[in-house]
Each structure stands twice: as C-alpha cells, then as structure tokens.
A and B are shown apart, each in its own frame.
Chain A
Amino acid sequence: MVNRKIVGAHYGLKDWLAQRITGVMMAIYAVLMAVALVSGAGSSHESWKEFMSCGLVRFASFLFIVSLCWHAWVGVRDIWMDYIQPAGIKLVMHVLTLSALIGYAGWATQIIWRL
C-alpha cells in the first residue's frame, strides 16, 4: 500500500458533540448528588442507601456511568491519536481502552443494581 496521509473519516462532529453532551449530563448528576448530600441524604448509611435505590436516582446513576465512559472514550482516544503514530499500536490502544471502559461500565452498573 502506498504510504499516504489520509484524513476524512467523517466522524469528528458526532464524538465532539457526544463529549459535550455527556459532560453536561455528568455536571447535572454532580449537582444532583451535591444537593442530595446537603439535604442530608448521606447522613447515615441507611438514608444514603435508600436514596441511591430510588428508581429515578438509579436511572440517573446509570446515565452518569454511561456518560462518564463515553466521555472518557473520546478523551482517551484523542490522547492516543495525538501521541501514538503507528496505526497498529493505535488500534490496539483503542481496543484496550474500549474494553476497559465497557468493563468498567458493566461493573459499575452491577454495583448500582445490586443496591
């Protein structure tokens, strides 16, 4: 194959937008948590557990985890794109990152659902 610099993958916008949206989701979740803590939801283990098991909070937590992983995926992938030039190694790092993040997401969800 000729060694030519190729660009034009046409997926930049989607990821950029996703990173912004997931960022906003995480910020909202953080505010939600802060309010909960201030209003005393974390005063005891029981009240905290009760708060976290509420359906709406579970839903929000799940969204947060997905957002976090998605956000991290774009961010970490950007780092590999900047610093790793050989395509093979880059692909391996992408796969490793993706596997780790999917694993983390599953794990975290499991923890929340176990509540």
Chain B
Amino acid sequence: MTTRTLQFKIYRYDPDQDQKPYMQDIEIEVDATDRKLLDVMVKLKAKDDSIAFRRSCREGVCGSDALNINGRNGLACLTDINSFPEGKPIMLRPLPGLPVIRDLIVDMTQFFKQYHSIKPYLINNDPPPERERLQSPEDREELNGLYECILCACCSTSCPSFWWNPDKFVGPAGLLAAYRFIADTRDQATNERLDNLEDPYRLFRCHTIMNCVDVCPKGLNPTKAIGKIKDMMVKRAI
C-alpha cells in the first residue's frame, strides 16, 4: 500500500503543564484508507496520546470536531486530506474567539448561552390536539436550510462580530435557530422572538460579512436567515 507523510503544526496548550500555548510539529504516515482529517488525527493520537480534541460521529452530523484548519473553520471528519496543499504543514488550531480549555478543545459555554437566549423551542400555547398539528408540505419546506444546524460553532467563531461581542451578539448559529422557530407555522411567539432580537447588539451586529456562509459544513446560510428576520422586523415596523 502506498503511504505518504503528512506534516502537522498543532496548537497545544495544557493549563496543567504548560506556561503558555505553543505549536507542536508532528508528522504521520497515511495510507489510502485514510481519507479524512479526523482519521489522521486519530492516528496522531495513537502516536501521542496527549493531543486533546473532541470527536464523536465522524460523519458530520454531531458537530463535535470543529477546528480551525489551515486558518479556516471546518469539521475534521468532513475535511478531505487530499485537499491540503502539498509540502506545507497542516495547521490545526482551536476554533477562534472562544477560550481554550486544552489543545483543540474550546469552552463553548458562550456559544450555547447565545443559542439558549433565543428560546430554541416551539412555543404554542394552544392545548395540544390529539393528533399532530397540521402543516402543509410547503410550510414545512420553509424549515429546510434551518433545522439541519448541528451547533458545531464553525459559523459563529468565524464571525468578527461574534469575536468582538460574544456576550451580546447572538451570532449566526443562534440567529439561524431563531429564524427556524419564526418560520415554523406551528410557533405562536413570532412577536416575542422579534422583540427579543430588536437590539443593536443581539441581531444588528451582523454586517453581512458572510464568513458564516463560507464555512458552514452543512451548506446552510445564516446570513439569509438573518436577512429574513430583518425583513420581518421592517414589515412589522412600517
């Protein structure tokens, strides 16, 4: 089997041992069975068990292994190792803009706090009917491109507005979720949801930079959803 060597530069920081973060140089042999970056990272961990990163489903649906790969946010399990430029070490860093717990593991508390702040659950105060609430296929289609979010945080941590105000700006992932419920015909809290976002920080920090759209591993478009929220606010105001 043909093998080749990949060079890595990996961000390392263990607050228990290290004074400050550093970049570790490490290389590894890969063969034809290694397709994705995560496969190779598992091999790297077999070589040096102290490299810490999160991973779970390895098929791009759980959102655990979001990293900054060669300067760009993405999921390790969906990143093809053949996509790396030859002869240059592959740079692996934790997601930018969130505190590092250790190595490639970031503290996502702030990210989830913002997600929770938009009340990410269906609000419908009518007594639940005996059967399902009806929804036409067309109305259901409105949720496509919204409900598929895996909360990996690639988008929010690539957003400069989120870097500056992670505590006040909801961020693309949270706003996408907010619109998911606004767009749901079964939800009755549209007004409250719009009220909750009408704020110079929470929604209007979005300056349509569109990094979120660029990096989303699921091909979703938070900017478009944010635009739709703004449209609804305008409609409501005039």
- Is A–B contact present in the complex under a CB 8 A cutoff? yes
- What residues on A are CB-neighbors of B204 within 8 Å? 12-13, 15-16
**Contacting pair A7 B168 (CB below 8 A):** yes
Contact A12 to B203, CB < 8 A, known contacts A17-B234, A17-B237: yes
| Main DSSP-derived SS at the B contact region | loop
**Distance (whole angstroms) from the CB of A13 to the closest CB of chain B:** 5
CB proximity to A under 8 Å, residues B178-227: 195-205, 207
CB proximity to B under 8 Å, residues A41-66: none
B230 contacts A by Cβ under 8 Å: yes
Stretch of A22-30, A78-86, A104-112 with 4 or more beta carbons under 8 angstroms from chain B: A78-86
**Contacting pair A8 B165 (CB below 8 A):** no
B25 contacts A by Cβ under 8 Å: no
B161 contacts A by Cβ under 8 Å: yes
B150 contacts A by Cβ under 8 Å: no
25 of the cross-chain contacts (CB-CB < 8 Å) are A5-B167, A5-B168, A7-B168, A8-B196, A8-B202, A10-B195, A10-B198, A10-B199, A11-B200, A12-B197, A12-B199, A12-B203, A12-B204, A13-B198, A13-B230, A13-B233, A13-B234, A14-B237, A15-B200, A15-B204, A78-B207, A82-B164, A82-B165, A82-B205, A83-B164
Which residues from chain B sit less than 8 Å from chain A, CB to CB? Answer: 160-161, 164-165, 167-168, 195-205, 207, 230, 233-234, 237
Question: Top 7 A-B pairs ranked by shortest CB distance?
Answer: A12-B204, A82-B164, A12-B200, A5-B167, A13-B233, A12-B199, A7-B201
Contacts A10-B199, A12-B199, A82-B160 supplied; 7 other A-B pairs, CB < 8 Å: A7-B168, A7-B202, A9-B201, A11-B199, A12-B197, A13-B233, A13-B237
